Structure 1
Amino acid sequence: MPYKEKKIEKYYYSIGEVAEMLGVNTSLIRFWEKNFDIIKPHKNKKGNRYFTKNDIENLKLIYHLVKEQGMTLEGARKKLSAQKEELTDNYKIVECLTEIKGMLIEIRDLLD
């Protein structure tokens, strides 16, 4: 059985790392930070932003609403304030299913 390395998880991610995860510019993340109260990155003395897993999940949810569903910022803000729990649960389910699909494709490729 092949050895699998443990996935290293960090507590804080820089704005560049988060931008790369989402495939957007860092300026868009700063813009969303100003427009959405749910994003509260930690800042050091120099003013560098460090995002937690929770911040990243919120950014992914905002990305889904604004970029994938085409909502306006005001619409996304209202929807988040009214239905954050439901939206988060639905988004986590979609993310989990996407991950399972990727694993199944990887297994299929190994079997071929």
Structure 2
Amino acid sequence: MPYKERDINKMYYTMGEVSAMFNVNQSMIRFYEKEFDILQPKKNKKGNRLFTPEDVDNLKIIFNLINERGFTLQGARDYLKQNGSEAKESQQVISALENLKKFLLEVKEQL
């Protein structure tokens, strides 16, 4: 049986890692943290923010609502309060489709 590498899942991501994931400034992440109640990163003794994978998923939802779907900040806040579980499910579908696309592009390159 061939060796297959496991995906490494981190328990916490630093502010720098999260801002690099979304290709935005750290100040925008801090701003969204103040604006949205669903973002609750932990802080260590030095005050550095540590984001859980759930926080990263919530940020994906927020960025999707604001950047892709054109919601205002207040509109995104209201949408998340009313349709929080629906937004999480749709984000999971989007993530699965992105992973499938990445896999298919890798297969295409190997042909």
Aligned residue number for residue 99 of structure 1: 99
- Tell me how far 1:37 sits from its aligned partner: 0.4
TM-score normalised by length of structure 2: 0.94
Local SS of the residue matching 2:102: helix
Identical-residue share of aligned pairs (%): 49
Dislocated runs of 4+, deviation >3 Å: 1-4
Aligned residue number for residue 31 of structure 1: 31
- Tell me how far 1:6 sits from its aligned partner: 2.1
Query: Which residue identity lines up with residue 68 of structure 1 in the other structure?
Result: E
Confirm or deny that 1:80 pairs with 2:103.
no
- Taking the TM superposition and a 5 Å limit, the aligned residue runs for 1:1-112 are 3-111=3-111
Unaligned 5+ runs, structure 1: none
User: What is the total number of aligned residue pairs between the two structures?
Assistant: 111
TM-score normalised by length of structure 1: 0.93
Q: Partners of 1:17 and 1:2 in 2: how far apart? A: 32
- Tell me how far 1:22 sits from its aligned partner: 0.9
Unaligned 5+ runs, structure 2: none
